[in-house]
Chain A
Amino acid sequence: MAQVQSPVPGTFYTKPSPDEAAFKTAGDTVAVDDIIGLVEVMKTFIQIHSEAAGTFAGYAVEDGMPVTAGQKLAEVDAG
């Protein structure tokens, strides 16, 4: 199981905008560099990419919640 971590502290978003669906849902195929979510740090949005390929296992943080640098955001089943 590969972890996707936040490189910065901020607010985590699972969706590109409030009205849209989440970037990934459990069971989705994930390729290397796929966007998993966004972290807003000081009004700047940073894309969070997966470093692993596999199957999306789920988010570890809810949409709109504060996160710390290094915190686990999601898991990818690399198997």
Chain B
Amino acid sequence: MSIKRLLIANRGEIAVRIVRAAKAMGIKTIQVYSEADADMLACKQADVTVCVGGAVAKDSYLNIPNILAAAKETDADAVHPGYGFLAESAKFAQAVVDAGMIWVGPAAATIDRMGDKVAARQAAQAAGVPVVPGSKDRIDKIDEAVEVAERIGYPVMIKAAAGGGGKGIRIAQDATELRSLAPQAQTEAAAAFGDGGLYLERAIESPRHIEVQIMGDGIDAVHFFERECSLQRRRQKVWEEAGADCLNEATRAKLCDTAVSLAKAVNYCGAGTLEYLYDDVSKQFYFIEMNTRIQVEHPVTEMITGVDLVQEMIKVCGGEKLSHKQSEITRTGHAIEVRLNAEDPHLQFMPWPGKVTSLKIPEGDGIRFDHFLYEGYQIPPFYDSLIGKLIVHGTDRVDALRKMAIALDEVEIGGLKTTIPLHKALCKDEVVASGAFHTQWLEPWLAAGNLTKPSEKGAI
């Protein structure tokens, strides 16, 4: 193992998670912190701490020169970026390597390539990963549009070729509708962009968000199966599961195997996630993007596979080979993670950066709580509202849901407003129990007042 002194360029719960993983591997941990984070939990647990600047992230956790100076000062030989902040900055990854250290993640060139949507789509297609079918070139004639639509399949999304930001988008269910909507779209596109050219793409209505965890050592790559992350609010995941019970075995195998092909094709090193839209009706999945880092929801995968993904990424980036062959990675049971945010779900999720007055952590078989809290801790207002992740592992989805409901009743975080009431309500919901949700489900559910039913109003 070539990594002896690991600098953690992050904060919050993921910093705690990385410190724990590194210590278990006998690696000295160096924790950076901002002026607002001197008393954070990761600082209390790390071997060495070093201040990298002011409270505002651009002055500290996003300040590349300051972090590199801290690494030099503390003799770090590797940098773990966590998620968020500089985790997907090719510039930072390259600067770390140029300074003679190991970057715990894929090469800067890979971050760059997979971070570019068009380049990532091309890399995916080349590796046999399905992407959302669309027209190759701009379309100017209605007959041509109908021809292309027959090939890519209905319903189709009609977009302005010159447009962006959703302007002028229409959805046609069949050829008749396309013939009526396409001229309108052309007129609107010409008016808005001075160009009536159109672009067609298969419309994936009410899709699920499914993603595949992969790990590479630069030569070989494996997958750790998939996660279901459709319960989202404002495009932020609030609840994640492993695996995705909506998939049949054939679809799961194809999803995971093509993800590995892509990882191998780009000589991927470290932990990565391929994100897909999944259409329950056609049973088809479409690549949307790749995240070149460890993700918030990695614990559900760890629960069902029994593999410590953070340790594994440190190991492979340190130059060792993957610990497991694909055939040795198996899945057992079902895991669910809920994100606990310091927000008031009864008041439009208003942030609530309070002081933790009491803390009761749920315990038991198959229950895990990743967090950075302790009694008396003042949560700073400058960063993300995520304060912890409650994770359960059950024999199956029904068992996991039951365990989650119990764990949510046991967890107590005094002094704050948190999203615990949201998750308690979701645990009791019939649609959640049936698993028949998608990415467009949670927001209307909230808008319909499911959190503030009359019988519960007195308690709020």
Chain A interface residues toward B at CB < 8 A: 8-11, 41-44, 64, 66
Q: For the side of the interface on B, what is the size category?
A: 10 to 19
A42 to B36, CA, bound (A): 13
Q: Which residue of B lies closest to A10 (CB)?
A: B381
| Neighbour of A9 across the interface among B54, B381, B384, CB < 8 A | B381
Identify 14 residue pairs between A and B in the complex whose beta-carbon atoms are under 8 Å apart, listed by A's number.
A9-B381, A10-B381, A41-B351, A41-B353, A42-B351, A42-B382, A42-B384, A43-B385, A44-B351, A64-B56, A66-B36, A66-B55, A66-B56, A66-B382
A-B contact count (CB 8 A): 38
Q: Which residue of B lies closest to A67 (CB)?
A: B381
A8 to B352, CA, bound (A): 9
User: From residue A69, how far is it (CB to closest CB) to chain B in Å?
Assistant: 9
Interface residues of B in 143-200 (CB under 8 A from A): none
A42 to B353, CA, bound (A): 8
User: From residue B70, how far is it (CB to closest CB) to chain A in Å?
Assistant: 21
Is A9's CB under 8 angstroms from B353's CB? yes
The contact string, 1 if C-beta is below 8 Å from chain A, for chain B 345-382, is 00000110100000000000000000000000000111
A43 to B349, CA, bound (A): 12
Contact status of A41 and B381, CB under 8 A, knowing A8-B351, A9-B353, A66-B36: yes
Q: Given the complex, which residues of B lie within 8 Å of A42, measured CB to CB?
A: 342-343, 351, 353, 381-385
Is B351's CB under 8 angstroms from A11's CB? no
A11 to B54, CA, bound (A): 12
Is B353's CB under 8 angstroms from A11's CB? no
Q: Which residue of A lies closest to B56 (CB)?
A: A11
Q: Which residue of A lies closest to B386 (CB)?
A: A42
Contact status of A8 and B56, CB under 8 A, knowing A44-B350, A44-B351: no
Identify 6 new A-B residue pairs, CB closer than 8 A, beyond the known A41-B351, A42-B382, A64-B56: A9-B353, A41-B353, A42-B342, A42-B381, A42-B384, A66-B56
Q: Given the complex, which residues of B lie within 8 Å of A66, measured CB to CB?
A: 36, 54-56, 382
The contact string, 1 if C-beta is below 8 Å from chain A, for chain B 54-82, is 11100000000000000000000000000
Is A10's CB under 8 angstroms from B382's CB? yes
A42 to B56, CA, bound (A): 11
Q: Given the complex, which residues of A lie within 8 Å of B36, measured CB to CB?
A: 66
A43 to B85, CA, bound (A): 13
Q: Which residue of A lies closest to B380 (CB)?
A: A9
Q: Which residue of B lies closest to A9 (CB)?
A: B381
A9 to B380, CA, bound (A): 8
User: From residue B329, how far is it (CB to closest CB) to chain A in Å?
Assistant: 35
